[in-house]
């Protein structure tokens, strides 16, 4: 008997798979009543992988008391083994024990095939301006036998693009748990912020821990980065020039992501919550406290349509009275944020350069409808929708010496609002949009982009 046979024979297991790819083991009275125990677990096909990490994926397998539980535990174990990303194939079999005096005993045989250690490829990446840049990645899997991974990521600085990155990252699941990941990396990132008239090189090290909890997935990370900001050209405005130079940011951040959305792309139900807190000041000369929140909520409507609400906000408070550098400020605007405005073109501005602010808020209400002439399900219809939207947002320089009322008044004073309609396409991590936007509420100094706007960006689906 194997766990993936689906014969109609009553004595055998019928595995059911639904449209979303989830596997169900139907509760079958026969299997619930049939007593069974796992006596022994054998793993075949291990070469480099250490025994202990494989065995750690079978918790409680020996506590199974009936055949249904045996199958369930076996399937869970198989799924965990796959998530370790060590093996290219896993197969779990049950075999009766050789000893005839124990008729209810079974042996669990796990057949694995270790995947290739080195893997790599080239794919496309997109920067904030929508420029497509080639990105080369090399992965080394299962380096020392316990699912350790090293990844080298090199994003080229190609003509017309404004970013390049080289990143070397090592990850290891702790305690054999594929959901608890420790990572350590070193990175150099070059970016051009045309909207603000400067370019920046970030060089640094980061180290983090990712783990699940009842609230969602947490990431605790320390970053130590040397930033060097330089003016882009002679047109850079003076307030931006004052932020140029070298600075050192050493910070600890905590991120919580709780994703309870339906299937991507364009989920029709559920929500995604992301909140980040960052404290910069563990060394370095940049000292601030940052708090960010993003919430996406989806609701299904009749005729294949769906409604999506996006809200986001962030506040940065500088500590020790140090002025906030433009490298740390928030910017707003663009085809994937506040539509109808040039990329990061929301003011305050000076001489055409966006200065950014220490706080932002952004809201969007989208109505997605399937394309009128393409089928709703399957093929490309899943990835592309028509949408109409309302976006509102603002950049506020919060003065922390004021009281709550005065601060809230500042938020109320300078909102920007736009509405429009267009096409939205989501293909894996890429989001492409072609919209016709009408900015209705604009503040002096904003760099507006009314009419047809095309954008490409990375949006986690």
What residue ranges bind another protein (CB under 8 A)? 226, 229-231, 234, 238, 241-242, 244-248, 283-285
Nearest to another protein of 38, 240 (CB atom): 240
CA distance 59 to 229: 51
Structure-token pair, residue 152: 């080298």
- Cβ-based neighbour number of residue 76 at 10 Å: 15
Please give the angle made by the CA atoms of 29, 12 and 38, to the nearest 5 degrees: 80
Note the Cα 450 to chain centre separation in Å.
Answer: 30
Cα–Cα distances (Å) from 256 to 179, 273, 295, in that order, read 14, 8, 12
Nearest distance in Å: CB 358, another protein = 20
CA-to-CA distance for 396 and 411, rounded, in angstroms? 6
Least Cα distance to 125 among 117, 134, 116 occurs for 134
- At closest approach, how far in Å is the CB of 245 from another protein? 3
- What are the tokens at 333? 């605007």
* Residue 231 or 307 with smaller CB distance to another protein: 231
- What element of type H or E holds 83? helix 67-83
Identity of the residue, 259 or 285, whose beta carbon is nearer to another protein in the bound complex: 285
**β-pairing verdict for 416-427 and 384-396:** antiparallel
Q: How far is the CB of 284 from another protein (least distance, A)?
A: 6
State the chain's maximal CA–CA distance in angstroms: 88
How many H helices and E strands in the chain?
5, 23
Of 82 and 231, which has the nearer Cβ to another protein? Answer: 231
Q: Measured from the CB of residue 250, what is the shortest distance to another protein in angstroms?
A: 8
- Whether the CB-CB separation of 66 and 38 falls below 8 Å is answered with no
Nearer to another protein, 282 or 429 (CB): 282
Q: Which is closer to another protein, CB of 201 or CB of 309?
A: 201
| In the complex, minimum distance from the CB of residue 160 to another protein, in angstroms, rounded to a whole number | 25
Q: Between residues 245 and 262, which has the closer beta carbon with respect to another protein?
A: 245
Instruction: Please give the Cα distance from 347 to 362 (Å, whole number).
Output: 14
CA dist., res. 228 & res. 190, Å (int): 10
Separation of CA 184 from chain center? 18
CB nearer to another protein: pick between 247 and 414: 247
Q: What's the closest the beta carbon of residue 347 comes to another protein, in angstroms?
A: 19
The CB density around residue 71, as the number of other CB atoms within 10 Å, is: 21
Nearer to another protein, 85 or 285 (CB): 285
Spatial contact of 59 and 41, defined as CB atoms under 8 Å apart: no
Minimum gap (Å) between residue 233 Cβ and another protein: 9
């Amino acid at each position: 008997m194997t766990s993936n046979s689906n014969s109609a024979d009553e004595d055998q297991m019928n595995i059911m798979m639904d449209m979303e790819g989830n596997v169900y083991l139907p509760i079958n009275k026969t299997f619930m009543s049939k007593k069974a125990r796992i006596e022994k677990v054998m793993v075949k096909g291990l070469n480099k992988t250490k025994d202990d990490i494989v065995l750690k994926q079978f918790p409680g397998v020996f506590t199974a008391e009936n055949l249904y539980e045996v199958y369930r535990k076996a399937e869970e174990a198989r799924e965990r083994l796959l998530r370790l990303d060590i093996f290219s194939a896993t197969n779990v079999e049950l075999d009766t024990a050789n000893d005839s005096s124990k008729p209810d005993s079974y042996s669990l045989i796990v057949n694995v095939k270790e995947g290739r250690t080195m893997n790599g490829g080239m794919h496309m990446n997109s920067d904030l301006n929508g420029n497509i840049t080639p990105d080369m990645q090399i992965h080394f899997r299962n380096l020392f036998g316990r699912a350790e991974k090293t990844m080298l990521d090199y994003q080229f600085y190609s003509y017309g693009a404004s970013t390049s990155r080289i990143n070397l990252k090592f990850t290891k699941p702790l305690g054999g748990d594929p959901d608890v990941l420790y990572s350590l990396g070193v990175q150099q990132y070059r970016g051009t912020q045309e909207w603000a008239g400067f370019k920046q090189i970030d060089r640094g090290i980061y180290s983090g821990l990712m783990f699940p909890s009842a609230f969602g997935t947490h990431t605790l990370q320390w970053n130590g980065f040397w930033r060097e900001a330089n003016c882009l050209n002679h047109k850079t405005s003076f307030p931006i020039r004052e932020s140029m130079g070298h600075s050192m940011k050493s910070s600890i951040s905590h991120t919580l992501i709780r994703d309870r959305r339906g299937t991507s792309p364009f989920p029709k139900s559920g929500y995604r919550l992301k909140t980040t807190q960052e404290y910069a000041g563990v060394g370095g000369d940049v000292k601030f406290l940052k708090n960010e929140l993003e919430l996406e909520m989806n609701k299904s409507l009749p005729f294949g349509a769906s409604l999506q609400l996006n809200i986001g906000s962030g506040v940065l408070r500088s500590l020790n009275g140090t002025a906030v550098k433009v490298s740390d400020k928030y910017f707003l605007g663009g085809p994937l944020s506040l539509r109808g405005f040039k990329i990061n073109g929301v003011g305050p501005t000076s001489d055409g350069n966006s200065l950014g602010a220490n706080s932002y808020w952004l809201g969007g209400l989208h109505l997605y409808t399937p394309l009128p002439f393409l089928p709703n399900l399957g093929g490309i219809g899943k990835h592309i929708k028509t949408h109409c939207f309302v976006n509102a947002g603002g950049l506020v320089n919060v003065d922390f010496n004021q009281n709550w009322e005065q601060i809230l008044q500042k938020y109320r004073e300078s909102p920007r609002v736009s509405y429009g309609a267009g096409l939205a396409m989501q293909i894996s991590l890429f989001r492409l949009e072609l919209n016709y936007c009408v900015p209705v509420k604009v503040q002096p100094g904003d760099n507006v982009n009314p009419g047809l706007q095309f954008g490409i960006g990375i949006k986690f689906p």
